[in-house]
Amino acid sequence: MEFLRVRQEEAVGIIELYRPKVLNALNIPLMGELVSELERMERDDTIRAIVLTGNERAFAAGADIQEMAEEDAISMLVKDQFAQWDRMNQITKPIIAAVSGYVLGGGCELMMHCDLIVASETTQIGQPEINLGVMPGAGGTQRLTKLIGKIRAMEMLLTGEPISATEALHFGLVNRVVPVEFYLSEAIDLAHNIAAKPPVAARMIKKSVQIAQDTTLAEGLSYERNAFYLLFASADQKEGMKAFMEKRPADFKGK
């Protein structure tokens, strides 16, 4: 792969965006590689949680402006070059973003696709598309509004000004803020913690939370209850409850 660096630490798959000279600007080939790699990790039973990161200076400074600059509406529509973004929604394993530096435009939208977010103290998160004469196109107006509320989202989207890691923590946009030297290791530790949990339950929880954001409370509660009942068909439920009663750590197999 040209634009990713990939490794695995026990049950954690780690994907690093790698276009450092252009602050990890998200061009079409990079996004293609990223989605393919996420789908490969989804199929790999030895991986139970995924960390997605960039580098200290930039998680990603947005979609590649050079690639988009000369497009017109019809060429954008016909290519539908960003359709691959939707495939990321199908990943059922928990994805933890480890972000630092610039998290802008499509970079912020990519971060919001993830399930948990660890940020370094130097992180700046923004949706500056308005400064380019456009607007977010990969969920920036929708996911950001759901995550931080209308008034805060309006300010970020209409001014294009980034917010700091501390503000993002205060807004509930990231889970943790840590010194820059620790943001990746903190995210990997969090991923190991989650990877040790029963994977079928983790998958159902992820789906249930996604549904909470997309449907009514009644539909969400109904999905949750059925998923809860279904987990009683798993070996991990038997193991988890037996281990509790036998006062020993559970050994979850993902069955």
Helix (H, G, I), strand (E, B) or coil at 2: coil
| Spatial separation of the C-alpha atoms in residues 60 and 108, rounded to whole Å | 8
- 188 binding ligand DAK? (CB under 6 A): no
- 137 binding ligand DAK? (CB under 6 A): yes
> Is 32 noted as a catalytic residue in this protein?
no
Size of the site for ligand DAK (CB under 6 A): 21
From residue 92 to residue 121, the character string flagging contacts with ligand DAK as x (rule: CB under 6 A) and all else as - is: ----------x-xxx--x------------
Helix (H, G, I), strand (E, B) or coil at 196: coil
- 129 binding ligand DAK? (CB under 6 A): yes
One of 23, 49, 118, 191 touching ligand DAK (CB under 6 A):
23
Q: What minimum distance in Å lies between the beta carbon of 127 and ligand DAK?
A: 8
- 32 binding ligand DAK? (CB under 6 A): no
Q: What minimum distance in Å lies between the beta carbon of 211 and ligand DAK?
A: 22
> Is 106 noted as a catalytic residue in this protein?
yes
Can you say whether residue 20 is alpha, beta or left, with left for phi > 0 and alpha for psi between -120 and 50 degrees?
alpha
| Spatial separation of the C-alpha atoms in residues 160 and 133, rounded to whole Å | 11
> Which of 63, 97, 168, 191 is an active site residue?
63
Q: What minimum distance in Å lies between the beta carbon of 43 and ligand DAK?
A: 24
> Is 168 noted as a catalytic residue in this protein?
no
Can you say whether residue 110 is alpha, beta or left, with left for phi > 0 and alpha for psi between -120 and 50 degrees?
alpha
Token pair recorded at residue 251: 């050994």
Q: Considering beta carbons, is residue 68 or 117 the nearer one to ligand DAK?
A: 68
Q: Considering beta carbons, is residue 42 or 67 the nearer one to ligand DAK?
A: 67
Sheet architecture: strand order including 124-126: 58-60, 102-104, 124-126, 163-164
One of 3, 59, 85, 252 touching ligand DAK (CB under 6 A):
85
CA distances from 233 to 112, 226, 227, 250, 255 (A): 32, 12, 10, 17, 9
> Is 186 noted as a catalytic residue in this protein?
no
| Spatial separation of the C-alpha atoms in residues 115 and 137, rounded to whole Å | 20
- 66 binding ligand DAK? (CB under 6 A): yes
R_g of the chain, CA atoms, integer Å: 19
Q: Considering beta carbons, is residue 12 or 63 the nearer one to ligand DAK?
A: 63
Helix (H, G, I), strand (E, B) or coil at 119: strand
Question: Contact residues for ligand DAK (CB under 6 A)?
Answer: 22-23, 25, 61-66, 82, 85, 102, 104-106, 109, 128-129, 132, 137-138
Q: List the catalytic residues.
A: 63, 106, 109, 129
